[in-house]
């Protein structure tokens, strides 16, 4: 079983719709959680960190459920420019040398 | 401010050939990383460095060597390339920072390597 699992998609949704996807992690010792965005044939870039209390950044909302060991990303009023692959990232410790695990990504395609 | 750059962008090797991938960052970051990305596998850490002159193994280090002779450069070497090393290679860098604080990893544009 992979340590970080994501539904690969693709999620095809119409522009303006709300879309959500989850990421599950297997190691309960995981401490920090993030969402990265990767455009086609480009490098990953940090989208947002995921805090225990949940957090919002504009149209994006991230949630953490430690009991069930998953994090989620909700995108409201989706734009064509949101089309990308979203990578779930889990860090096992608090140090920046702690092991960081990337999920294989969920592909999102926003349709006009 | 170029951020993280990688050289070359594309390369085709024959089995058994060697090559070196160069990563350079101009952000004065202490930490540098080499990842490979394969379809359906996500990014996997090959080697990383927490400072000039230091390197450590990641998740998939076999078949690769690295060196960090200067703080701004991190080199990834393939001594004898194999078809299984066909992949996209990303370099990244970050601050070391304070424990408990996450410092974003900044990625280079990637190197697409094909081994035939």
Number of CB atoms found within 10 A of residue B16's CB: 10
Q: pLDDT at position A77, please?
A: 98
Question: From the list B43, B94, B97, which residue is nearest A102 (CB)?
Answer: B43
Q: pLDDT at position A89, please?
A: 93
- Enter the tokens of residue A75: 């995108």
β-bridge pairing B10-13 and B111-115? parallel
Per the CB < 8 A criterion, the answer to whether A8 and A104 are in contact is yes
Number of CB atoms found within 10 A of residue B45's CB: 20
Per the CB < 8 A criterion, the answer to whether B36 and B19 are in contact is no
Q: pLDDT at position A95, please?
A: 64
**Best to test chain A binding among B44, B98, B102, B110 (most A CBs inside 10 Å):** B102
Is B107 in contact with A100 (Cβ distance < 8 A)? no
Listed as ranges, residues in chain B with pLDDT below 50 are none
Sign of CA dihedral A28, A29, A34, A40: negative
The tens digit of pLDDT for each residue in A25-42 reads 998 777 789 999 999 999
Strand blocks (E) in B27-108: 31-38, 42-51, 54-57, 64-67, 73-78, 87-94, 106-107
Confidence of residue A107 (pLDDT cuts 50, 70, 90): very high
Go through chain B and tell me how many residues it has.
116
Give me chain B's average pLDDT, please. 93
The tens digit of pLDDT for each residue in A38-81 reads 999 999 999 998 988 889 999 999 999 999 999 999 999 999 99
Per the CB < 8 A criterion, the answer to whether B102 and B47 are in contact is no
| Residue A16, Cβ density class (10 Å: 0-12 exposed, 13-18 middle, ≥19 buried) | exposed
Say if residue A94's pLDDT is above 90: no
A7 touches chain B (CB under 8 A): no
């Amino acid at each position: 079983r992979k340590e970080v699992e994501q539904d690969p998609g693709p999620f095809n949704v119409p522009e303006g719709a709300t879309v959500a996807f989850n990421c599950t992690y297997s190691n309960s010792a995981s401490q920090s959680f993030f969402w990265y965005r990767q455009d086609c044939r480009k490098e990953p870039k940090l989208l947002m960190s995921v805090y225990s209390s949940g957090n919002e950044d504009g149209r994006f909302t991230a949630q953490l459920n430690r009991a069930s060991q998953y994090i989620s990303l909700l995108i409201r009023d989706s734009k064509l420019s949101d089309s990308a692959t979203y990578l779930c990232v889990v860090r096992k410790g608090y140090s920046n040398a702690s092991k960081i695990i990337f999920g294989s990504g969920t592909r999102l395609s926003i349709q006009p | 401010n170029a951020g993280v750059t990688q050289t070359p962008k594309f390369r085709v090797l024959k089995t058994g050939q060697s090559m070196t991938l160069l990563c350079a960052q101009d952000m004065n970051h202490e930490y540098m990383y080499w990842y490979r990305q394969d379809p359906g596998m996500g990014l996997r850490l090959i080697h990383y460095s927490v400072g000039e002159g230091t390197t450590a193994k990641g998740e998939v280090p076999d078949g690769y060597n690295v060196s960090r002779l200067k703080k701004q450069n991190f080199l990834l070497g393939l001594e004898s390339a194999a078809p299984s090393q066909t992949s996209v290679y990303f370099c990244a860098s970050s601050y070391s920072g304070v424990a408990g604080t996450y410092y974003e990893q900044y990625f280079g544009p990637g190197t697409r390597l094909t081994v035939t």
